[in-house]
Amino acid sequence: MDVVRGTSAETPLRPRNGGAGFAGVGVGMSVDLDDRRAQLLDLRSRVLGAAHDIVGGDVDDGELSNAGGDQHLADHATEMVDREVDQSLEENAEQIGYEIDRALAKIEDGTYGYCARCGQEIPAERLDAVPYATECVSCKQLEGAS
């Protein structure tokens, strides 16, 4: 069994689907899991903090304003679009928070860096770009195509 070296607690890598495991290409060789965990926790805090700031910026009670009763229809439409954008951003932040939690769980159970779908090692470049990735690019593309 391969071991990630250079962490305060050497963590065994357990390939999924009965694979033999290999060091040399991806996470098994160069990712410090303690650093990755700290990076994910920081990212989670920033993403959820930004979502909180978006929600906190909505100070009204959920009703569209009609200050003075003479607000133009375009002003109401702008408010609605702003609310929809804020809601989408909040939902996206929650989804990323969920994905970060999944990646943290994979670190804990020793499967971080392996695709949840096919079991292949996720390239370090992908994990550097999207540290909460739980699928390789090929499997993620298949998910998007369906």
Q: What is the pLDDT of residues 56-71, one digit of tens each?
A: 665 554 555 545 456 7
Average pLDDT for the chain: 75
Over the stretch 106-139, which tens digit does the pLDDT of each residue have? 999 999 999 999 999 999 999 999 999 999 999 9
**pLDDT exceeds 50 at position 9:** no
> What's the number of domains the chain is made of?
1
Over the stretch 36-48, which tens digit does the pLDDT of each residue have? 999 999 999 998 8
In 3-state terms, what secondary structure has residue 7?
coil
Q: Which strand (E) or helix (H) includes residue 81?
A: helix 73-109
Among 17-21, 30-34, 40-44, 95-99, which stretch is predicted with the lowest mean pLDDT? 17-21
The string of DSSP codes covering 27-72 is: HHHH--HHHHHHHHHHHHHHHHHHHHHHHHT--S-SSPP-GGG---
> What are the distances in angstroms from CA 10 to CA 1, 32, 33, 107, 126?
12, 9, 9, 12, 22
Instruction: Confirm whether pTM is higher than 0.75.
Output: no
Q: Tell me the CATH number at 130.
A: 1.20.120.910
The domain of 31 spans: 3-145
